[in-house]
């Protein structure tokens, strides 16, 4: 015990601002990893691994245990290599999300969003969802936000039509060619219909006591896990309306609540667009310099 206290005192004496910087950097890396795997099955395992690594590091540093240190030094690296293999889908999804976020927000750049177009789109989605719910006609409507959905648009039928309740009702009318699959909305237009969405494998639906959630709900969760899109689902069995975002699903919501939630999402996005756009500022400087030389 005396050796343990002396070792702790020795470490405290050696602690300086570089040690503090080292701790901050390691903590930032752990935090970034947890943020990257947020809302995935790997998040819980990653927390356990981080706690285990910290605990083992403290034990092997403060206490002289040769056999234990040898065992850890030979087994821990192999265990760390198996984690990416076990959670390959979650890792790929997290990296895809990071890549989309980096490309869509490069130097704080966002496409301008017209609030009137957003209101018109939200009204159309809410009206169509409410009427589809009454008639118990299944539907999956995906609303693009910052992340591009072009790769999913390519799996369906391109449209580019102005969104309206009547158009959405026609798309999801039973036994029509565009009924199966998702309709993707970009701004106030239906960009594509009958699109194939990735299916969720997170187990959120499996843990639900309700069994009325099928492929549409799994697809809604899947696209919300892979991108920042909002997915609105109308159940064909019960007529209930659900909303999925960031791997979470909100069940049995009313038309008024759906409208409030959608408007809240887009108002937040418009607020982010007001941030300083460094890229456009740099381009403006270069253009002004070029005009001055001419």
Quick one: DSSP state of residue 112? -
What angle, rounded to 10 degrees, do the helices at 115-135 and 255-273 form? 160
The answer to whether residue 217 scores a pLDDT higher than 50 is yes
Q: Which residue has the higher pLDDT, 241 or 106?
A: 241
The answer to whether residue 91 scores a pLDDT higher than 80 is no
Non-local CB neighbours of 18 within 8 Å, separated by 6+ positions: none
Q: What percent of the chain has pLDDT over 90?
A: 35
Ramachandran bin of 285, using left for φ above 0, alpha for ψ from -120 to 50, beta for the remaining angles: alpha
Q: Which residue has the higher pLDDT, 169 or 108?
A: 169
C-alpha 143/C-alpha 195 separation (Å) is 13
Q: Per mean pLDDT, which of 115-119, 122-126, 246-250 is the most reliable?
A: 122-126
In terms of CATH architecture, what is 115-273?
3-Layer(aba) Sandwich (3.40)
The answer to whether residue 218 scores a pLDDT higher than 70 is yes
The answer to whether residue 112 scores a pLDDT higher than 80 is no
The answer to whether residue 245 scores a pLDDT higher than 50 is yes
Q: Binning pLDDT at 50, 70 and 90, where does residue 109 land? A: very low
Q: Binning pLDDT at 50, 70 and 90, where does residue 170 land? A: very high
pLDDT given at position 73:
77
The answer to whether residue 104 scores a pLDDT higher than 80 is no
**Lowest-pLDDT range of 61-65, 165-169, 217-221, 268-272:** 268-272
DSSP letters for 152-184? HHTTSEEEEEEP-HHHHHHHTSTTSTTSSSEEE
**Lowest-pLDDT range of 9-13, 86-90, 209-213, 245-249:** 209-213
- Tell me the mean pLDDT in the region 96-107: 54
Tell which residue, 164, 187, 190, has the closest CA to residue 118. 187
Three-point CA angle 22, 28, 31, nearest 5°: 145
Within 10 Å of residue 190's Cβ, how many Cβ atoms?
Answer: 24
- Tell me the mean pLDDT in the region 14-37: 79
pLDDT given at position 184:
97
- Tell me the mean pLDDT in the region 244-256: 91
C-alpha 67/C-alpha 62 separation (Å) is 15
Non-local CB neighbours of 169 within 8 Å, separated by 6+ positions: 128, 131, 132
Cβ 140 vs Cβ 216: under 8 Å: yes
pLDDT given at position 7:
61
pLDDT given at position 276:
44
Mean pLDDT of the chain: 78
Reported for 3-8, long-range contacts at CB under 8 A and 24+ positions apart, including other chains, are 3/64, 4/62, 4/63, 7/61, 7/62, 8/62
Reported for 172-178, long-range contacts at CB under 8 A and 24+ positions apart, including other chains, are 172/128, 172/132, 172/137, 172/138, 172/139, 172/234, 173/137, 174/137
**Lowest-pLDDT range of 97-106, 108-117, 137-146, 206-215:** 97-106
Tens-place pLDDT, residues 198-209: 988 766 665 555
For the chain, where are the E strands, in sequence order? 139-143, 157-162, 182-186, 189-195, 230-234, 241-245, 248-250
Torsion angle defined by CA atoms of residues 121, 100, 95 and 149, in that order, rounded to the nearest 10 degrees: 50
Q: Which residue has the higher pLDDT, 233 or 32?
A: 233
- Tell me the mean pLDDT in the region 25-48: 73
The answer to whether residue 126 scores a pLDDT higher than 80 is yes
Q: Could you tell me the residue ranges of all domains in the chain? A: 2-86, 115-273
């Amino acid at each position: 015990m005396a050796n343990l206290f002396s070792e702790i005192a020795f470490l405290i004496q050696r602690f300086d601002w570089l040690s503090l910087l080292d701790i901050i950097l390691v903590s930032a890396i752990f935090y970034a990893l947890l943020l990257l795997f947020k809302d995935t099955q790997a998040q819980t395992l990653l927390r356990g691994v981080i706690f285990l690594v910290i605990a083992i590091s403290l034990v092997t540093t403060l206490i002289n245990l040769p056999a234990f240190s040898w065992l850890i030094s030979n087994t821990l690296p192999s265990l760390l290599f198996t984690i990416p293999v076990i959670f390959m889908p979650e890792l790929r999804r997290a990296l895809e999300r990071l890549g989309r976020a980096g490309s869509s927000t490069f130097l704080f750049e966002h496409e301008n969003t017209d609030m009137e177009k957003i209101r018109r789109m939200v009204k159309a989605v809410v009206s169509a969802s409410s009427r589809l719910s009454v008639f118990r006609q299944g539907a999956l409507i995906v609303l693009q936000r910052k992340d591009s959905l072009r790769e999913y648009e390519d799996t369906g039928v391109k449209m580019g039509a102005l969104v309206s309740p009547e158009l959405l009702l026609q798309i999801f009318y039973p036994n029509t060619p565009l009924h199966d699959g998702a309709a993707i909305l970009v701004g106030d237009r239906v960009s594509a219909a009958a699109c194939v969405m990735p299916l969720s494998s997170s187990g959120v639906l499996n843990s639900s006591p309700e069994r009325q959630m099928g492929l549409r709900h799994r697809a809604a969760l899947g696209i919300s896990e892979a991108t920042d899109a909002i997915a609105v689902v109308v159940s064909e069995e019960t007529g209930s309306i659900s909303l999925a975002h960031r791997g979470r699903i909100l069940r049995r919501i009313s038309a008024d609540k759906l409208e409030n939630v959608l408007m809240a999402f887009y108002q937040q996005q418009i607020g982010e667009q007001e941030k300083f756009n460094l890229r456009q500022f740099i381009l403006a400087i270069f253009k002004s310099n070029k005009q001055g030389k001419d």
